[in-house]
Homo-oligomer: A and B are copies of this chain.
C-alpha cells in the first residue's frame, strides 16, 4: 500500500485542522508540501507538522514533482482561482466549501474540471460524511419514513464566535452562502430535488455590526423544490448554548431528526441548574470525525483511482441557491431560481 502524497494550499484555522488530521490520523497519506502567505503558518507546517517543503506561492507547490493530490483550504475568495490552477497542473483536488461566491465562478471551475475527466475534483460537504446524517440518508433510502417531503436544516453557531465572524464575514459571502451552504446541500440530498423558489427573512437581532455590513445574525428561509417538496433553512450566529446544527426530515411514514443539540459527550449533569447536558461549542467539536472521514475518503479515492460520488454540481447549486437567498433577503421578496 503506497502512501498518498499531498500538497496543501492554505494554513489558516481550517487549513491547520485539515493538516493536523492528515499528519496524525490518516495512515495512508502524508503532506509533502504546504503553501501559505503567512510566515508563522509556514513555521507551523515545518516544525509542528514536520512537512518537508513549504512555499509562499501555490504555483511553486504545484511544480513539486512528488505530489499525488492537492487540498485547497485557502480563503473562500481564492478557491476558484486555486482550483483552476491545480486542475490544470494535472492533480486530483479537494476544495473546502464553498467553491466560489458566484455562479459564474463555479461554472468556470466546472468547465476546467470537465476538460480533465480522469482527475478527481471534489468540494467538501462534510455533513454528508457525518455518521448521523449519513445514517438518516441510509434510513430514508431503506424506506423507513416513506417518501420525504419536508426538510428542516439549520446551522447555528455559539454567540462566542461573533468576534471571529465579524472579521471573517467580509470574505465569506454572508450568512446564506457561508452557513446555509450545508443546509442547501442537505435539503437537495434528502429531498432529491433542486430548489425552484426561495423566500428569506432575517435581521441583526443581537449584533448591529452584521447589519452594517449588509449581512444578518439570524435568518430563515422557505424553499420550494422542483418536485413540490418543502425546505426550511435556518442560520444563526447568536446561540447562547452552543453550536446547534441539526436537520429534520419528514416523510409520509415518519420523521428523522439528526439530534439536537449535540452534547459534548454522553455525560448528563444534575445540579442546581436542573438536568442538563453541555452542548458542543464549535462545528469542529460537533463535526470533527466527519472531516476525518471526508479526508480519508478523498485519500482512498486517490489511492484507488475512484471518481468520488458527489461532484462539483453540488457546489454550484449551493452557491446558486445561496445567492438567491441573499437576494431574497435584500429585496424582501420571493426569488425564482433560474437554471
Which of B25, B201, B236, B269 makes the CB contact (< 8 A) with A224?
Answer: B201
Given contacts A239-B270, A270-B244, contact A201 B218 (CB under 8 A): no
A151 to B277 alpha-carbon distance, docked (Å): 19
Chain B residues closer than 8 Å to A25, beta-carbon distance: 25, 27
Which of B144, B257, B267 makes the CB contact (< 8 A) with A268?
Answer: B257
Given contacts A27-B27, A274-B278, contact A135 B265 (CB under 8 A): yes
Q: Which of A102-110, A248-256, A302-310 contacts B (4 or more CB under 8 A)?
A: A248-256
Is the CB–CB distance between B276 and A266 below 8 Å?
A: no
Chain B residues closer than 8 Å to A263, beta-carbon distance: 259, 274-275
Given contacts A240-B271, A271-B240, contact A258 B266 (CB under 8 A): yes
Chain B residues closer than 8 Å to A150, beta-carbon distance: 205, 218, 220
User: Which of A135, A220, A236, A246 has most B Cβ within 10 Å?
Assistant: A220
Is the CB–CB distance between A131 and B276 below 8 Å?
A: no
User: Which of A218, A232, A254, A263 has most B Cβ within 10 Å?
Assistant: A254
Is the CB–CB distance between A269 and B254 below 8 Å?
A: yes
**Can you list, as one digit per residue, whether each of A13-24 has a CB less than 8 Å from chain B (1) or not (0)?**
000000000011
> Which 5 A-B residue pairings sit nearest by Cβ, starting from the closest?
A259-B266, A276-B276, A254-B271, A132-B266, A241-B270
